[in-house]
Structure 1
Amino acid sequence: SALCMGDDFKPEMTAGHSLGEFSALVAAGALNFEDGLKLVYARAMAMQKACEATPSTMAAILGLADEKVEEICAAIEGEVCVPANYNCPGQIVISGSVPGIEKACELMKAAGAKRALPLKVGGAFHSPLMDPAKIELEAAINATEIHTPKCPVYQNVDAKPHTDPVEIKKNLVAQLTASVRWTQTVKNMVADGATDFTECGPGAVLQGMIKKIEPSVDAHGIA
């Protein structure tokens, strides 16, 4: 976020993956750096409590169509199992209770998934099991000033551009239990004119995802 706050950094639109949505808001001038850090901390503490309340996990599913992953998740009875991250074509992360994810991984492999990889995470992020964290996060967000961004911010919950601070706050809270619609976000940004993507931070994971979603665009990083 700090890299992207200078006057020379003038994006036409921003987006962030999961936690990165807070960085995207800082980059767009909607949230100052210090408040962004405070909200990230509040979010982490609230989610940690939710994780401790229910044993839960996530898994990456590679090589299955989105619709098939959704179908299998919906067929898991008596357990929580939902698509959490639509990362790029052929890569979805699912989230839920430990038994639910274990069963889903078996079914995904049987349905032809190339891999179903359990992830080493603290809990079922972006699933209904994070619902208890909403109260604390909502209080922290409502106590924080979010300005009208200098450019549209494409948010995870609906993959659409937002500039209204009230909507932005609402979507940040909803994101806790909603899917990260990254594939559709990138497609919508490209449809709205994006041709050059800059990933802010030390990694290159999003650059790889972006190129898989839209091979024609440029994607690079700054750290």
Structure 2
Amino acid sequence: MKAYIFPGQGAQFSGMGLDLYENSPLAQELFEKANDILGFPITDTMFEGSAEDLKETKVTQPAIFLHSVILAKTLGDSFKPEMVAGHSLGEFSALVANGALNFEDGLKLVSQRAMAMQKACELQPSTMAAVLGLDDEIVEKVCNVTDGIVVAANYNCPGQLVISGEIEAIDKACQSLKDAGARRALVLPVGGAFHSPLMEPAREELAAAIENTTFNKPNCPIYQNVTANAVVDETAIKANLISQLTAPVRWTQSVQQMIADGATLFTEVGPGKVLQGLVKKINRASETTSATFETNND
């Protein structure tokens, strides 16, 4: 079975999407539509901006979403997902890919999500850290006994878990994790504690936007971050999408479940190859590839 997977924040690169824009009339039309919806020329930053420009929250999330979704739309008849999943932000791309959301609504929600998360980050200084070389259970245990807010946020693959929370609590937890034998416990250059209780203000703001958006019956299951299970019910999809901001990304569990349900080929759609690397670490036998645009598909 063909599984399509969609990357999240951190996959952006300078010049992203330019090849699509230059070679596909459909891509050009969608990028121009995106500039209108967002109210600023995001294509300028995507195609010509520096890595620093692309780090701006109002740009990063819509840029990755646009690259993934527009690439999927230019694949033509060869794009036939039997299951989809997205890492954090990538879940929105996946929901457009499986027909649950239309392009315009998906982009509006991603933009609102980015702004809401930015606001939540400004309310309280917070951060995330990558922990390598420890079992998930040990990391969870250390988070539980550390003073302050610190939680497991991204289950990326066995031996790689990202924690999220208050700066002081993260620093303390990192020290404890190193003492517990972590190969590395490294604070990440991110703006805030994503997928933690500190995102509650953003969750409330996004919940209202999601409730007011029409979701359609998807044409294949999505394996959502919150549950790591196949979901096809629109109401459940919405609820999981709302919970996602304060709940962990269960990527390891999602990939394992997709394999158990018959996934044989994982195709990453969007910038970078991070998710293919994670899939290989979760199950070495899995076949992975990148979606590539071919001019004759348009």
Q: TM-score, normalised on structure 1?
A: 0.98
CA shift at 1:23, angstroms? 0.6
Question: Cα distance, 1:2 vs. partner?
Answer: 1.7
- For the pair 1:99 / 2:165, whether they are aligned, the reply is no
Contact (CA 8 Å) 1:86, 1:180: kept in 2 or not? Answer: yes
- Give aligned-pair identity as a percent: 64
The separation in 2 between residues aligned to 1:8 and 1:198, in whole angstroms, is: 12
User: What secondary structure, in the 3-state scheme, does the structure 2 residue paired with 1:212 have?
Assistant: helix
Are 1:18 and 2:88 an aligned pair? yes
Q: Which residue of 1 aligns with 2:8?
A: none
In 1, the alpha carbon distance for the partners of 2:171 and 2:103 equals 39
Amino acid in the other structure paired with 2:138 = K
Q: Secondary structure, in 3 states, of the residue corresponding to 1:185?
A: helix
In structure 2, stretches of 5+ residues that fail to align are 1-68, 293-298
Q: Shift of the alpha carbon at 1:127? A: 0.1
Match of 1:148 in 2: 217
Letter aligned with residue 29 of structure 1 = G
1:4 aligns with 2:66: no
Which amino acid is 2:71 matched to? L
1:187 aligns with 2:236: no
Match of 2:195 in 1: 126
Alignment partners' CA distance in 2, 1:202 and 1:128: 29
CA distances 1:186-213 after superposition (whole Å, capped 9, x unpaired): 0000000001000001200000000010
Quote the Cα distance in structure 1 between the aligned partners of 2:272 and 2:224: 21
Deviation beyond 2 Å, 4+ runs, structure 1: 5-8
Could you say which residue in structure 2 is the equivalent of 1:162?
231
CA-based RMSD of the aligned residues comes to: 0.9
Separation in structure 1 between the aligned mates of residue 180 and residue 286 of structure 2, nearest angstrom: 32
The equivalent position to 2:181 in structure 1, one of 105, 112, 124, is: 112
Secondary structure in 2 matching 1:145? coil
Letter in 2 for 1:3: L
Larger helix fraction of residues = 2
TM-score (norm 2): 0.73
Q: Alignment partner of 1:83: what SS?
A: strand
* 3-state SS of paired residue (1:112): coil
What secondary structure sits across from 2:151 in the alignment? Answer: strand
CA distance in 1, matches of 2:90, 2:271: 13
Looking at structure 2, the residues matched to 178 and 11 of structure 1 have their Cα atoms a distance apart, in angstroms, of: 26
CA–CA separation in structure 1 for the residues paired with 2:77 and 2:231: 21
2:119 matches 1:49: yes
State the shift of 1:7 in Å.
4.1
Q: For this pair of structures, how many residues does the alignment match?
A: 222
Instruction: State the distance in 1 between where 2:271 and 2:135 align.
Output: 30
Alpha-carbon distance between aligned partners in 1 of 2:203 and 2:270, rounded to the nearest angstrom = 27
Measured after TM superposition, the shift of residue 143 of structure 1 is: 1.4
